[in-house]
Each structure stands twice: as C-alpha cells, then as structure tokens.
Chains A and B, each alone.
Chain A
C-alpha cells in the first residue's frame, strides 16, 4: 500500500525551462511534506518542505505547491539547470517522525 506516489519514474527537460515533479498521497492525516534530491552514490539531501497550513513555499529556484483537497503536491524548478539532474523524492508525515517516501522521479536536464 503506497501512501505516497510519484507516478512519473522519469522526466527530461531542456535547460532553462521549468521542471514540474508531481507527488500524490492518500493519507489525509499527513500534515508535513518534504522534497529530497539524490545524486548517484550519495544519500538524499533535503531540498524544501511545506506544512499543511500553507499552499506554497518558495526557496530560490524551487517552489513547492500543496493542494490538500486533491492530496497532491508538486515541485517546480525554474529555471532548470544541468546540475539539477538527480532523483527527487517526496515524503510525508502526520506529525510524527515517521516519514513515508515515494518511489522517486529521475530528472534529467538537457543542456
């Protein structure tokens, strides 16, 4: 039972364009969401987060949008750069430290 789903295993985007990574969840009790980025042979690193009291959080080129009614969040990267090529995981928790991760989306930014 996958409570956090990333239905696109991969995504290719031209450098300079927008990358949109999507994540869906099923548990309405989730109230905190994070995005992590992972390069090969490294551990995931924290990118950006959002709590359920907000619908948008922005940090430089990265913006996360949360649509609670649709149980959907998305990560926008603008403009995309080749260094953004990595696997992106979304994660969710319900007020505890038990973070549930998705299966990841591999982003490739083409120069």
Chain B
C-alpha cells in the first residue's frame, strides 16, 4: 500500500482565497483524521470520521473550516475564506482497529500539506 496520500504538498495562497486539501487513506482503514501542526499547539485534532461519517468535529476552529468524506477513499478539508493564521501543516491520518487497548488503532499519517496564507 502506498500509505496515506495527501495533496497538495505545498500551497501558497492569498488571504480570502479558498483552500482545499485532499487525502486518500489507506485502503481498508475505516477511521480518518485531520490534524493541524503549529509551533504553539503541536498536533491538534480537527475532525475525525468513521466509515465516512464525521464523529467529532469539536477541534474545527471556525465555520471557515469544513471537512467531507464522500467515500471510503477520499476526504477533503476546505478553508473558505483563508486567513494568515491558518498557515500550518495539515496532516491526514487513517486507522483501523477495535479500540484503544487492543493496540490495533495506531494512526498512520500522510506526509502533510504545508499551507501558507499571505
């Protein structure tokens, strides 16, 4: 398997523009996560899905952020309109497994999408 695939790897845009980040999880994984990495807050969980259904979006910072998972092999994270403070590295991760104690729910991360909003 090629792992978790994210695109684009780098995105530079101007304030006010719409940004769409894409993720292809590992085939067979039924959990998908979006994280954001910043120096101040480390890795923050934005939202996660199970079987394409959003389970917890409490980490989504504002209404400007939205995420979808139309099928098991694709997810998007959209920021509209983007602001300079959204500049960060956004990671997608996927996982499968029965639960925390089983050891099977290790997250596999993609390489990330570095977003710069000018």
A-side interface size class: 20 to 34
Interface bits A77-111 vs B (CB < 8 Å: 1, else 0): 00000000000010101111111111110000000
The verdict on A63 contacting chain B, using a C-beta distance below 8 Å, is no
Query: Known: A43-B112, A51-B100, A102-B42. Contact between A97 and B50, CB under 8 A?
Result: yes
Please state if B45 and A99 are interface contacts (CB–CB under 8 Å): yes
What B residues does A41 contact at CB under 8 A?
111-112
Closest chain B residue to A103, Cβ basis: B42
Give bound CA distance, A49 to B100, whole Å: 10
Give bound CA distance, A97 to B59, whole Å: 14
Task: Pick the contact of A98: B45, B106, B111, B112 (CB < 8 A).
Answer: B45
The verdict on A34 contacting chain B, using a C-beta distance below 8 Å, is yes
Please state if B105 and A95 are interface contacts (CB–CB under 8 Å): no
Give bound CA distance, A30 to B10, whole Å: 34
The verdict on B34 contacting chain A, using a C-beta distance below 8 Å, is no
The verdict on A7 contacting chain B, using a C-beta distance below 8 Å, is no
Instruction: Count contacts between A and B, CB distance < 8 Å.
Output: 70
Interface bits B98-112 vs A (CB < 8 Å: 1, else 0): 011101011111111
Residue contacts A-B, CB under 8 angstroms, 30 given:
A2-B41, A31-B100, A31-B101, A32-B100, A32-B101, A36-B109, A41-B112, A43-B109, A44-B109, A45-B109, A46-B107, A49-B106, A51-B103, A53-B101, A89-B43, A91-B43, A94-B100, A95-B99, A95-B100, A97-B31, A97-B55, A97-B95, A97-B105, A99-B107, A101-B35, A101-B45, A102-B43, A103-B42, A104-B42, A104-B43
